[in-house]
Amino acid sequence: MPRDCDLLEDFVSHGSEDAFRALVERHTAMVHGVALRTLRDEALAQEVTQAVFIILGRKADALPRGTILAGWLYRTARFVALEAIRAQKRRQKHYEEFARMNATDSPDSLWNKVAPVLEEVVCRLSDADRNAIVLRFIEERSFADVASALGTTEAAAKMRVGRALEKLRAALTRRGVVVPAAALMATLSAHSAAALPPGFSTAVATVAHAKGTAASTALLDLVSAASKALAWYKMKSGLVVGAMVMFLVGSALLLQQKLGGQTGAHPQHVASLDPMAGEWEGTFEMTGAGMPNPVRQPVALSVRTTRAGRSCEIEMRVTNAAGKPTAVYRFTHTLNKTGDHIITADDPQIARMNGDGIITEGVEDRNSGVWRVTFRTPDVSGRRYSECRWIRSGNELSITRRDQISGGQGTNQLESVLKLHRPIAETNR
């Protein structure tokens, strides 16, 4: 059986209708099942399914290499279904119906407990765990197929699926749905996908391969709204971590202009990066136009200086509410010989800001204890530069950033601040 990645490559490179149709037929039941469980409306679930594959047809060439298509389709189906709910103002009614479900412990009632939160919880898993759950239980693939999709051995696939199932069970438990592992496995397998109407996959493939040109106005409206929301979600999600990372690798004001076009960027001098050394903890906050709610994320930093303060190594830990790291990034900054430039080595996971940046402000007031540094660094494309300001005052460190993000939907203004302080144990030394 051809792999998803091969079919996708055939479609992207040669516009193969047969390859695209094979992908649709392979994944339609899963996508339809996600939509139906989320919406509980057959007609709307069919519309969402078509919208998902139209989006795939439009965005296939932009999917990163190595994307597990089943996992991507699962998450996209959930997202588009929620967008359909918002568009039709059905969310409140949706959850009220679930609240009235039978609360007994029969097999059907167990599914009734899991179903209302399943898509939300699965989408909150890591990509690796979500891909394992979707492939094994939602699409009911064999372990051999799961191993092939994940690029691993069958034994490793079994271990990954087992760990992912346990994480899913733990996440459900935190939502008040207590399900034994064996029962969860059984109920997922029993309710993996709803029966499809005859000829539905063929109809979906035909409309989606034409990228929606033959679709109804209502369906095109849903595709348009979902695509815009997905683009914003992707940008926002990337910026939540990306903004925090790029604070530390020189990003505060992202402008579409060449570094060589800056005016008034006169080099200043910094003698040492020692004021940043030590342990820090605090929060990252981001607000902006088009964001319904501010983003707030706990973070912790470890900064170690070397070479008499001329270089610093930074480890940033993005944490959850319990203080446990959910992601770790490492990068360095080094002053040049004259102290008027900063050379940045970015974390390989990010690889956005590597190279030479000009220092435009360097202040150290020993009387007030304030240390302030501003510098600009080009991104790897060389078409943009980023400006960052660090301010150390006593036991507090702040990093401020303002973004202008331009795209097909216009320009969004974002205000971001990283507010840090010394941990209590550090200040009491």
Q: What is the chain's length?
A: 429
Q: What is the pTM of this model?
A: 0.43
For the chain, give the longest Cα–Cα distance: 79
Coil vs helix vs strand at 332: strand
Res 261: pLDDT: 40
Give me the half-sphere count of Cα atoms (radius 13 Å) on the Cβ side of residue 275: 22
Q: At what angle do helices 4-14 and 17-39 cross, to 10 degrees?
A: 120
Q: What is the mean pLDDT of the chain?
A: 75
Distance CA 18, CA 179 (A): 41
Tokens of 94: 């949706």
Which stretch of 12-21, 97-106, 327-336 has the lowest confidence by average pLDDT?
97-106
Distance CA 116, CA 31 (A): 16
Neighbouring residues of 165: CB distance < 8 A, sequence distance ≥ 6: 133, 137, 181, 184, 185
What angle is formed at CA 340 by the lines to CA 336 and CA 345, rounded to 5 degrees? 50
Q: How does pLDDT run across 243-253, given as a tens digit for each residue?
A: 555 455 544 33
Contact 186, 198 (CB under 8 A): no
Phi, psi angles (nearest 5°) of residue 190? -75, -25
Print burial letters for 175-204: b (CB count within 10 Å at least 16), e (below 16). eebebeeebbbbbbeebbbeebeeebbebb
Q: How does pLDDT run across 137-155, given as a tens digit for each residue?
A: 888 888 888 888 888 888 8
What angle is formed at CA 34 by the lines to CA 240 and CA 81, rounded to 5 degrees? 60
Residue 239 is inside which H or E element, if any? helix 217-248
Contact 174, 120 (CB under 8 A): no
Print burial letters for 390-421: b (CB count within 10 Å at least 16), e (below 16). bbbeeeebbbbbebebeeeeeebebebbbebb
| pLDDT at position 69 over 90 | yes
Residue 404 is inside which H or E element, if any? strand 396-407
Provide, rounded to the nearest whole percent, the portion of the chain with pLDDT above 70.
64
Tokens of 337: 């010989």
Contact 270, 335 (CB under 8 A): yes
| pLDDT at position 9 over 70 | yes
Distance CA 246, CA 347 (A): 10
Which structural domains are found in the chain, ordered by start?
Answer: 4-215 (no CATH), 235-427 (2.40.128.20)
| pLDDT at position 411 over 80 | no
